[in-house]
A and B are shown apart, each in its own frame.
Chain A
């Protein structure tokens, strides 16, 4: 299961570009909820300045070692530095935003 969001054209102007990975284990309800929640948040706050990779550890368990994954689902923010991990189904949007260190959209 691999999904890649389209890059927006004004990437260069944005101060932060997000490289995200979501680790899941099969099509569990928790994983699906997490993915839905994440997509909503990204659409709402990241405005296309991101890439998202979904990694299914059922298929590639050896990848868990690299990002030190124990809990499922885990969202890893690879960029910008430092690495951040958010575990859980990402139902609490505010906490996810704090975790990703995304400022609220200033209108």
Chain B
């Protein structure tokens, strides 16, 4: 450790064990012994990062419940060896939670359990949880579980004087000892309040019971009815203060959602939100929703949309893997068809696809897709495709989300298709926005490509989805009907596609018995033609082109003959010209001859004059001509 020299001088000997002067250069100045190196006593050194040191401290011992999601939000399960209160109204799943805690404990963690029920007989309980695949009889016979039913019938009971609940203690002790239990469930312990009127004794006894359970290190779940304004009707939470879990069952717009909240967990961090949970054939599952971070990895891999022409519009390669795709459009624009193509494509290329339909049953969808040449059935048979169809009104939003979570965790698909998401909108748009965000984040985290279809109402602006989810989407394909010349035709364009140079074209979308085709729309004289108008226009233009071609041909012929004519005329003229030239030359020659004759004559003239008498008339004549 380097410190200034004067500071070192002030340090007591008990703190630093050695002082060594070291030369130090400060901003290239002269070296000087202005700093000293001291050695601190090791036990006085405080670790630099308290948080990292703390991570090594032993955590509170926890008993995993084996309940999906619950161990995540509690960082490991219920407090081991301590009692936990599980409170909630009637029918919100208290007994189910407790049963699963016991059964999973016995099967998965080898911790036998005791169930002391004050409400249901052992036979009823056994039958109730059979549907979840829990074989209580088998567990009982293998000495993994002890069921005891404590029946309290107040009409049979008369109180005379002092009593205690030693009978209950002895029964519990007997049960715990007979299976060497580590876990105990008291299913509605508060029922004792209905059987006995002396509340003072009961409270004292219950307090004693909790201490008794804690002393024996039994991880206990005590269920309790929710009271008015209090967590439990009889204030049990006052005695148990280690862990309190509240279950809730709320109905909004006729749809009920179960939720769970950890009210208190002494000595441990835990999720504090209200978590929706589900009870189905696999038992209890809680959905941890707290991971809303934008930290997912991205992939450069591309995944084909299954429609060649659409891939072409997306740089010829299709979507990015792990992105979210929105296909929106009005009714009957072919959203499901695009989804089916995508599903078919990813199954054909050996990927797994989860198809969640909110409109059509599986059979109906498969039949309908066959009409455009897609056989989804063979993918289902090969287990590459899972088709789930349920009504959106079946449960609340969070239940849908939870169920999708479950399916994704079980099936581990590469592609998830939700068709359509708009059907989920039953109430608050904020809620669905939040739900979709969670769903998209969840899928992105797992590098799952998600395709959502969205129905836009006819009168609504096309480029606006009902739930305002467009910002969550990476690729948005918009489908619309174009009404022109007494026809509606489907058009498709890509409104956005993050991270790629996508086509800006409007394409016409045609169903054929062999899949979908996208045809570049016919654009002519500033108008876009689709459907038969496109065909008519194309025919018109073809005729026009033909006519023009014929015109051209005719003109060409005309020109040809004209030029021939002209050529012949040129030839004639040229012949004429040649004749003229020949004539001109001949005249020139005659003129030259004549000239030469004149010159000769002028020379000869004087001679002729002298010899006129001798030559006669002949010479005279030639001279005149």
Contacts and interface: CB of A to CB of B under 8 A. Distances in A.
Interface string B160-188: 11111111101101100000000000000
Interface stretch (A2-10, A14-22, A60-68): A60-68
Most buried by B among A61, A65, A70, A87: A70
Contacts of A87: 157-160, 163, 196
Interface in A70-86: 70-74, 82-86
B596 interface: no
Contact of B161 (A61, A62, A69, A91): A91
A52 interface: no
Nearest to B118: A70
Contacts of B161: 33-34, 88-92
Contact of B163 (A57, A83, A84, A88): A88
Contacts of A85: 156-158
A48 interface: no
A65 B158 CA distance: 19
Nearest to A76: B156
Contacts of B196: 71, 87
Contacts of B192: 70
B560 to A, nearest CB: 119
A98 to B, nearest CB: 7
A14 B152 CA distance: 31
Contact of B167 (A25, A34, A84): A25
Contacts of A71: 163-168, 196
A96 interface: yes
Interface string B27-41: 000000000000000
A58 interface: yes
B174 A70 contact: no
B329 to A, nearest CB: 66
Interface residues of A, number: 34
A23 interface: yes
A89 to B, nearest CB: 4
Interface residues of B, number: 25
A95 interface: yes
A95 B165 contact: no
A33 to B, nearest CB: 8
A95 B164 contact: no
B195 interface: yes
B208 to A, nearest CB: 13
Contact of B164 (A64, A65, A72, A96): A72
A102 B514 CA distance: 91
Interface in B501-523: none
Interface string B224-244: 000000000000000000000
B538 interface: no
Given A61-B171, A61-B173, A61-B174, A72 B166 contact: yes
Given A61-B174, A64-B174, A88-B163, A70 B158 contact: no
Contact of A86 (B153, B157, B168): B157
A44 to B, nearest CB: 15
Nearest to A101: B158
B148 A65 contact: yes
Given A61-B173, A62-B174, A70-B152, A25 B166 contact: yes
A53 interface: no
B160 A95 contact: yes
Given A82-B156, A89-B160, A70 B173 contact: no
B150 interface: yes
B302 to A, nearest CB: 67
In this complex, the member of A58, A72, A73, A88 whose beta carbon has the largest number of chain B beta carbons within 10 angstroms is: A88
Given A61-B173, A65-B171, A71-B196, A30 B160 contact: no
Given A64-B171, A96-B160, 13 more contacts: A25-B170, A28-B166, A30-B163, A61-B173, A61-B174, A68-B151, A69-B171, A71-B166, A88-B162, A90-B160, A91-B162, A96-B158, A99-B160
Please give me the 6 A-B residue pairs with the lowest Cβ-Cβ distance, nearest first.
A99-B158, A61-B174, A88-B161, A72-B166, A91-B161, A89-B161
14 contacts: A23-B167, A25-B166, A58-B170, A61-B171, A61-B173, A64-B174, A65-B148, A69-B171, A70-B165, A71-B163, A87-B158, A88-B162, A88-B163, A96-B160
Interface of A: 23, 25, 28, 30, 33-34, 57-58, 61-62, 64-65, 68-74, 82-92, 95-96, 98-99
